Amino acid sequence: MKLVLLGAPGSGKGTQSQLLIKNQGMIQFSTGDLLRKAVSEKTELGLKAKDIMDEGHLVPDDLVIGLIREKLKGVSADQGVIFDGFPRTLPQAEALEGLLKEFHFSLNKAVYIKVPQQELIKRLAGRRSCSECGAAYHLHYNPPKKEGICDRCGSHDLIQRRDDTPEVIQERFETYERQTFPLIEFYQTRGLLAEIDGTAEPEDTYQLLLRSIGLGSEAFHSS
Q: pTM of the entire structure? A: 0.80
Domain limits of the chain? 2-26+80-117+169-221
Taking only the tens place, the pLDDT of each residue in 46-97 is 888 888 777 766 678 888 888 889 889 989 988 999 998 889 889 999 999 9
Taking only the tens place, the pLDDT of each residue in 92-106 is 999 999 999 999 999
**Given this model, what pLDDT does residue 37 score?**
82
Residues carrying an active site annotation: 13, 88, 127, 161, 172
Q: How far is it, in rounded angstroms, from Cα 206 to Cα 200?
A: 9
Report yes or no: 155 and 133 within 8 Å, Cβ to Cβ.
yes
pLDDT tens, per residue, the chain with 223 residues: 999 999 988 899 988 999 999 999 999 998 777 888 888 888 888 888 888 777 766 678 888 888 889 889 989 988 999 998 889 889 999 999 999 999 999 999 999 999 998 898 888 999 999 999 999 999 988 999 999 999 999 999 999 988 788 888 888 888 888 888 899 999 999 999 999 999 988 999 999 999 999 986 543 333 3
**Three-state DSSP class for residue 87:** coil
Q: Which CATH class is domain 2-26+80-117+169-221?
A: alpha beta
